[in-house]
Structure 1
Amino acid sequence: MTTVLTMRAIGKSFPGVRALDGVSLTVGEGEVVALLGENGAGKSTLMNILAGVFKDYEGEIEIGGEPARIHSPKDAGRHGIAMIHQELNLVPELSIADNIFLGRERAILDRKGMEARTAELLRGLGLDLSPRTLVKQCKIAERQLIEVAKALSQNVRVLVMDEPTSALADAEVHRLYEVIRDLTGRGVAVIYISHRLEELEEIADRVVVLRDGRYVGERSSIDRDELIQMMVGRPLGEMFPRANGGSDGAELLRVEGLSVPAEPGSGRTALREVSLSVRTGEIVGVAGLMGAGRSELLESIFGVHRAAAGRMMLGGRPYRPRSPKQAIARGVALVAEDRKAQSLVLGNTIGFNASLPSLKRFLRFGVVDRRREGAAVAGQVRELRVKAPGTRFTVGNLSGGNQQKVVLAKWLLTAPSLILMDEPTRGIDVGAKAEIHALMSELAASGKAVLVASSELPELLAMCDRILVLCEGRITAEFPRGQATQEAILAAAMARQQVTTL
């Protein structure tokens, strides 16, 4: 196999942090190398050096056996290196076509040619979108596939994919695998960063593991337990620590015939006559393909979208929230899908973010009691084991897993009775996933009701007492724990007509 990329003894430091310490990596022509490690292990830093995002670093890079000086994204592009970043680099106000060709325009735009090529790329990824659609009108999963299309529009020799499936359901994931196989068949080298270990056996030729900025080792065979131990440096307990739950608690939430329209061009899926219930002490899952309406359902219960028909009951009382503020006042919390855009103020501190929705708790004579607020936040941060120097640390500088813990801390401080979770483990490492799964179990055991939407079927199958399946805004099936299978869920997720609840 011809070596396409060699990175030798790469080092990188930030103020107070040694992010990479002598890391080396090689990738061959047509090879898929998976890069694993916990958040903060150095994976994204290493790839950002390769992509020219970080211009100052130690070590050497070779492309095709020749030294390559990569100190900017343009340098990387000239060497045939493209990267799909975990944090999507799209301009929301521009069209899909404009985003795909951004930075490569000529003096006179060939608008027709750009849109034709964009349409071809989108079809190849199974996206039924117009090239003229504004990115801000697209769902997160669609934006992720647009990033893939943007990378594929270039003549790539090395393609870096940082969490490319984190917002995709199983059907979209398999479509992406087909694209990767097509690329490797044409000799493109692929570096694949993922926290979904179940993907590796299907897509990766080799696995390279980093920990604390250092190279730990590599494997050509996939042994899940061994890889986890290499990543975290210790044996990890149950990935899904959920004992058989119970549905004997009192009914907390009831939704009957909920219909929520979607405005033209909003990019949202309309909900049609959705009915469901969640009991105290119960974890209920929501499955479905991209665009099925999972996020819209949770957001509607949280008061983000107005219902046109149907009714809701919460704790035995009528519940019709007209805003998230009213939902919070009734004890409802939403861990949103996009934590950076919807849940956190990245430029502010852990303490500021964690106490935002619960400031009323700390008022004294109309003034926030900073001592009580700080003590409550610090206690929640300790309990969730957020890795940070203190509550005054900027949230934007935390790893994805620790940012998600701050989101959870924020909502737990409101003392909710119903917790809505939209992709709660998206883009976080295996250790943080296990901690969040354990927290979900603890919340249910303490009498909270949890409604969780996830594109990871193993997560839903292992953690939920019941699973609801959505297709095009309708519930098409309901499976009790122990009777659900991935095949049955996918069949219901692709069904257009409502089927009998099991």
Structure 2
Amino acid sequence: MSAPGRSAPPTLALVNVSKSFGAVRALQGVTLELHAGEVHALAGENGAGKSTVVKTFAGVHRPDAGEVRVDGEPVAFNSPADAQAAGVAVIYQEPTLFPDLSVAENIFMGRQPRGALGRIDRRAMHAETARLFERLGVALDPQQPARGLSIADQQVVEIAKAISRDARVLIMDEPTAALTGQEVARLFAVTRSLQESGCAVLFISHRLEEIFEICRRVTTLRDGTYVGTDMVADITPDDLVRRMVGRDLDALYPKQDVTPGEVALKVSRLTREGAFTDVSFEVRRGEIVALAGLVGAGRSEVARAVFGVDRWDA
């Protein structure tokens, strides 16, 4: 991983930024610099202020104090459109594509190439989409409908859309939460190609091993305050956790030896057409049972049915 030069100012930065919502202080004195050609991690517990940082970069929130800077110059993002015009793109955990449009139509929505008579030039749109995917090193059909794409493929489409808008900064907010190991590896390959092309990448993840694999520096927040920025090579996962929570976590959640009691809840062959099929499990008194799966696997739907929010078919 090549180190970006430090002679140029950061492509995008927060400088001593504070932001409050009523009596809640979401950010206090946060400084974060994103340099071209670097993947920079933002770490912190839930509620540490990461989402507020993302929304400030994206033009959703304006800081109460401090500055947002582009290429070292103060800017005022009054809307997400202002941030996009400055080359900032955000890839969220769950992309929001138009399901009934093709991949190419999603990428060029609102700015489709036009022919001589003002009609949409679909051939040019498909060709440019293919070039974007070739640059990213992925094989997707530009004419494929977005409906039915995996979360990983939808994220690639969102990244291609950002590149087509000449994005200089890509913010990835929990992009791997719903991905398999193979999909994560592909996303990291795409991220490295963006890095090599000079894009500045902000990477947010609760999976510390991913931060240590893909990122060069990491900035840590705790309770909305700036803790520090470290070279990833100079710290350990334990160091990073200590920065995030402010203490050692040797025995935060010690494993308890408990003998489960009688069955408190039994679910047998629960089925809801189109959501989940033949789900069975038991929960005994004194035990914790995990319900695991990727986004879209049906976990929430099962929980809603068991709780009585949604009806089931069998």
Q: Fold match, TM over 0.5?
A: yes
- Asked if the contact 1:125–1:176 (Cα under 8 Å) also holds between the matched residues in 2, the reply is no
Q: Which residue of 1 aligns with 2:247?
A: 234
Q: Which residue of 1 aligns with 2:26?
A: 19
Instruction: Give the superposition deviation at 1:152.
Output: 2.4
Q: Which residue of 2 aligns with 1:129?
A: 140
Task: Give the counterpart of 2:294 among 331, 337, 342.
Answer: 337
Name the amino acid aligned to 1:48. K
Q: Does 1:140 align with 2:151?
A: yes
Name the amino acid aligned to 2:130. A
- Asked if the contact 1:94–1:135 (Cα under 8 Å) also holds between the matched residues in 2, the reply is yes
Q: Name the SS for the 1:135 alignment partner.
A: coil
Name the amino acid aligned to 1:58. A
Structure 2 alignment gaps of length 5 or more = 1-5, 257-268, 284-289
Instruction: Give the superposition deviation at 1:334.
Output: 5.5
Q: Which residue of 1 aligns with 2:199?
A: 188
Equivalence map 1:44-55=2 (5 Å): 44-55=51-62
Where relative contact order (Cα < 8 A, 6+ residues apart) is larger, the structure is 2
Q: What CA distance in whole angstroms lies between the structure 1 residues aligned with 2:251 and 2:175? A: 26
Q: Name the SS for the 2:69 alignment partner.
A: strand
**Between Structure 1 and Structure 2, how many residues are aligned?**
279
Structure 1 alignment gaps of length 5 or more = 244-300, 307-322, 345-352, 361-409, 411-502
Q: Name the SS for the 1:116 alignment partner.
A: helix
Q: Which residue of 2 aligns with 1:368?
A: none
Q: Name the SS for the 1:13 alignment partner.
A: strand
Q: Which residue of 2 aligns with 1:115?
A: 126
Instruction: Give the superposition deviation at 1:42.
Output: 0.9
Q: Which residue of 1 aligns with 2:306?
A: 357
Name the amino acid aligned to 1:230. R
- Asked if the contact 2:171–2:201 (Cα under 8 Å) also holds between the matched residues in 1, the reply is yes
Name the amino acid aligned to 2:61. F
> In 2 relative to 1, CA 196–118 (structure 1 residues): closer, same or farther, beyond 3 Å?
same
Q: Which residue of 1 aligns with 2:13?
A: 6
Q: CA RMSD in A?
A: 3.5
Q: Name the SS for the 1:229 alignment partner.
A: helix
When the two structures are superposed, what TM-score results if normalisation uses the length of structure 2? 0.75
> In 2 relative to 1, CA 177–140 (structure 1 residues): closer, same or farther, beyond 3 Å?
closer
Name the amino acid aligned to 1:337. L
Equivalence map 1:309-320=2 (5 Å): none
- Asked if the contact 1:9–1:59 (Cα under 8 Å) also holds between the matched residues in 2, the reply is yes
> In 2 relative to 1, CA 117–215 (structure 1 residues): closer, same or farther, beyond 3 Å?
same
Q: Among the aligned pairs, what percent are the same residue?
A: 44
Task: Give the counterpart of 1:78 among 82, 85, 92.
Answer: 85
Instruction: Give the superposition deviation at 1:358.
Output: 3.6
Equivalence map 1:277-316=2 (5 Å): 303=271
Q: Name the SS for the 2:248 alignment partner.
A: coil
- Asked if the contact 1:49–1:57 (Cα under 8 Å) also holds between the matched residues in 2, the reply is no
Task: Give the counterpart of 2:226 among 194, 215, 218.
Answer: 215
Q: What CA distance in whole angstroms lies between the structure 1 residues aligned with 2:99 and 2:22? A: 32
Q: What CA distance in whole angstroms lies between the structure 2 residues aligned with 1:69 and 1:51? A: 11
Instruction: Give the superposition deviation at 1:222.
Output: 3.3
Instruction: Give the superposition deviation at 1:25.
Output: 1.1
Q: Which residue of 1 aligns with 2:170?
A: 159
Q: Which residue of 1 aligns with 2:264?
A: none
Q: Which residue of 1 aligns with 2:181?
A: 170
Instruction: Give the superposition deviation at 1:168.
Output: 2.9
Q: Which residue of 1 aligns with 2:237?
A: 224
- Asked if the contact 2:112–2:125 (Cα under 8 Å) also holds between the matched residues in 1, the reply is no
Name the amino acid aligned to 1:211. R
Instruction: Give the superposition deviation at 1:324.
Output: 4.5
Instruction: Give the superposition deviation at 1:143.
Output: 1.7
Name the amino acid aligned to 1:174. A
Q: What CA distance in whole angstroms lies between the structure 2 residues aligned with 1:58 and 1:340? A: 42
